[in-house]
Structure 1
């Protein structure tokens, strides 16, 4: 793990009413600097949109604790997954996410450079992110909570330290 977040460009979709029609979205490149520079950010990463623990607990947990996290001086909370922008958008819409920002790492570039890219071929997922959360201040990783047992084709899905409560406890300490 590096002390700085990887410097990459995320391929995102943003709402743009000037486009009109049923799909008023356009592509927008967002850099690591756009997200992290001069800000205090909580980012959590998970294996995949619509998957059980990610959908039932991980993302909803951060959404539920969003204001508590922001109240600790955090500027933004991001959910990252090795999924495309369309999937991330529809997943957040499906779950009613209003506050946590969705960050698609479709090519897995950020995840790979974080050293968190793992094979999940045993589940038919290909390459995905290991589950983790981190506090980043001005592009520097201050604290990283990585789930135990980091490995390719992990037979289970550890979820013990990357949850919103663990991050919130750390922020309050």
Structure 2
């Protein structure tokens, strides 16, 4: 499991971006490879990871909390806030449209192949428990120039079929408290 001071994994995220040159199409998007370095090198960012798009806690509390506190988090010297889930770009887009609509604040980051999640040591499998397969354990992290500055991992991480899905320390309030205290 990643700890403070560790380098974050260097992976490629398979993203979809609007391509304005694609006219007369119902799907004006194209694939774009986005490297960890594109997102985190020379920047201070917050990433919060969760088990899945469209799931109850993720949709009712986790993502909405970070969206609500986005401006306060940015004022603490954070360049960007990303929500990461082991879902593909299509699912993340539809969930984002349903949750935040305009993508002007929190950005959704698809880790469909689970590469970043595995590299962070946060992979877990909820096959018999929830039918999810491989997903991310719930956590939040401040990444400062490709290194873990601070990480909040929910207690009780189990790599296979965890019954509980705790939500106590990866929330926006905990992250904001840390950022405000680190700013002083």
Question: Which of 109, 114, 123 is the equivalent residue of 1:117?
Answer: 123
| Whole-angstrom CA distance in 1 between matches of 2:157 and 2:86 | 16
Matched with 2:21 is 18
Q: Does 1:104 align with 2:107?
A: no
- The CA deviation at 1:17 is 1.2
Question: Which of 145, 149, 155 is the equivalent residue of 1:148?
Answer: 155
Matched with 1:76 is 80
The alignment of Structure 1 onto Structure 2 pairs a total of residues equal to 173
| Whole-angstrom CA distance in 2 between matches of 1:14 and 1:55 | 23
| Whole-angstrom CA distance in 1 between matches of 2:100 and 2:76 | 24
For the aligned residue pairs, the C-alpha RMSD in angstroms reads: 0.8
Matched with 2:42 is 38
Q: Does 1:63 align with 2:67?
A: yes
Cα-to-partner distance string for 1:37-64 (whole Å, 9 max, x where unaligned): 0000000000000000000000010000
List alignment gaps of at least 5 residues for structure 2. Answer: none
- The CA deviation at 1:23 is 1.3
Could you tell me the TM-score, scaled by structure 1's length?
0.98
| Whole-angstrom CA distance in 2 between matches of 1:169 and 1:29 | 33
List alignment gaps of at least 5 residues for structure 1. Answer: none
Could you tell me the TM-score, scaled by structure 2's length?
0.92
Matched with 1:53 is 57
Matched with 1:6 is 9
| Whole-angstrom CA distance in 2 between matches of 1:113 and 1:41 | 18
| Whole-angstrom CA distance in 1 between matches of 2:146 and 2:22 | 33
| Whole-angstrom CA distance in 2 between matches of 1:142 and 1:30 | 22
- The CA deviation at 1:22 is 2.0
Aligned counterparts, 1:127-166, within 5 A: 127-151=134-158, 152-166=160-174
Secondary structure of 2:179's aligned partner: helix
- The CA deviation at 1:153 is 1.1
